[in-house]
A and B are shown apart, each in its own frame.
Chain A
Amino acid sequence: MYTETQIVERPAVIDPFEGDGENLVINIGPQHPATHGVLHLVVTLNGETIKKVEPHLGYIHRSIEKMCESLSYRQFIYVTSRMDYLSAHINNHACAMTVEKGMQIEVPARAQYIRVIMDELTRIASHELWWGAMAMDLGAFTPFFYAFRERETINDIMEQTCGARLTMNYMVPGGVMADLHPTFQQKVKDFITLFKSNIDEYDELVTGNIIFQSRTKGVGYLSKEDAISYGCTGPVGRGSGVSCDIRKIYPYEVYNQVQFDEMLETGGDSFSRYQVRVKELRESIKIIEQLIDNVPAGDYLAKTKAVLKLPKGEFYTRVETARGELGVYIVSEGGTTPYRIKFRSPGFSNLSALDHMVRGSKIGDLMATMGTLDLVIPDIDR
């Protein structure tokens, strides 16, 4: 039976203290300068103090996992560039690796080197954008432009090699889509020189600033135990002292042949997470420096069948994106398309800790904490 729906009229004058008369409920987002996308936070406040934060997701849900079920094993990789758009290469990398694992494709050494260099360049670009946006969340505009100065160089390199600046599709099952551009190595070396001379400015402008330190130290505390139980990975987990760098624990491609350190901080606050990321910038440069001159000659793409078919079974791969652990889980029925696919995205788990981290702090702390979580909303919603 059809029942008449009752139309509830919205009162013209908002009562700011609706509910129990003490709490002020404000909606931060889905359009808000600090959420960097369409994240919707329902924040319950008492004065300036946060009592509860409730993230509402789904504003940019495009059912990427469902779409992947109707796309072939070559096609579905392209969709994943749109998940975490700041680490498109690394997403593609994870998917390509899952397919390679299922079909037991041997990736040529040249392709492995190229993949790792591209991953690290992507990580630098992503951390650059985070660094600028983080400072902007705290009210400083200028760092954003300094970060983009270097990021622009990386984007140019990417454009030259892959044809795209943001949503790159370069890694395919069996290797990479095209060989490196002839000037790639020289450009990367130029970038390294430029970056090394500029990265100290970052510390001068932001890290050493007394206002910045007082805004981030002791803010958004996440203990090691909580980080583990919330499943926080990447710089968020490492900022709380959890050793969770997939590149170290389960090395893939040539990560076991390069020298680099896993950055660990034990503070658990926003400043620790900040420092992990800034140190990772230097660490990524170190990895690229070791690889860029030693890219072996040979094929960049393994010979594969025209139509890829994964054998019946379940396949799981994980990689370290700029934001943490990305897991790709494919269930195959032996056909040309995945039967089921699931992405374990780092942003989703990291966001789940937000409420725990900011309860009892001020609105300004919410922004500082969200900034260091480095949320990319399409990664959370998919």
Chain B
Amino acid sequence: MKNKHITIILILTIFLITLTITIFNLNKIYINKIKPINIKINTYSKLKEKNKELNEKILKENNKYNENKKTLAKYLIEREKLEKIIYEKNDKADGKIIYLTFDDGPSIYTDEILNILDKYDVKATFFVTCSDNLDYYAKKYIEKGHTLGLHSCTHKYGQIYSSEENYFNDLNMLSNIVENSTGYKSKYVRFPGGSSNTVSRFNRGIMTTLSKKLYEYGYKYYDWNIDSNDAGGADSNQIYSNVIGALEYSNRDTSIVLMHDTKVETKNALEKIIIDALNMGYTFGNINDYTKEIHHYINN
């Protein structure tokens, strides 16, 4: 009998010891699993706080951006008012103004061209495309007092002249990029190839339609009356001769010169053109609302 009791007690004791050890180890396992989770939860809370701070900083910077855009819009209105006064004065003074226009940029030569223009305090007009760094140069054109015009986003004749819708989709894409980066909505347009182009003849009558539609949408378009022929492969001497030669024999009060800031030969010819034109008594201007609109004969 006594042996039986001892056995039972022994079994129970062994069981209790086993149970205690088991519970102790299980608790250890539990704590080892829970501890890292608590650390992760703590880390997550801190990151959430950091995320909230970032949101506030981004909001603050966005507000600054919007305020700057409003200020720029005010400056542009003021600039236009003053330019109107100056151009009216110039018009009364000698009536001979040259508008240098640069198509297809910006490009790797744009910086040098801007520097040359700065050197002689000459303002020009840039009819841009969706080139690399358009965002950067769009702001630069405006802050330096030049006119930012719209040429075409893609400059792909087959696409843009295939329909009125495609033309304006292309133009609006470019306009939006310019407006988003500068706050400035340009209304000055130059048709790729000019309004007289014949590359659009695969779509009969498209240029007649587009030249009217542009005005309905609040745009103005400008062709040219002096062609530097830099797009035709002229070297810098030929470009100079084409421009200065045309000015020498011209009695026009408004000369709009077609150039491309994507051409190194144009960059090389520019300074001499400016110096000689100034010596001939010309004034340089950039296209604005009061510039005489030069239009080619529409061939399509």
**Is the pairing of A and B real?**
no
User: A-contacting residues of B (Cβ < 8 Å)?
Assistant: none
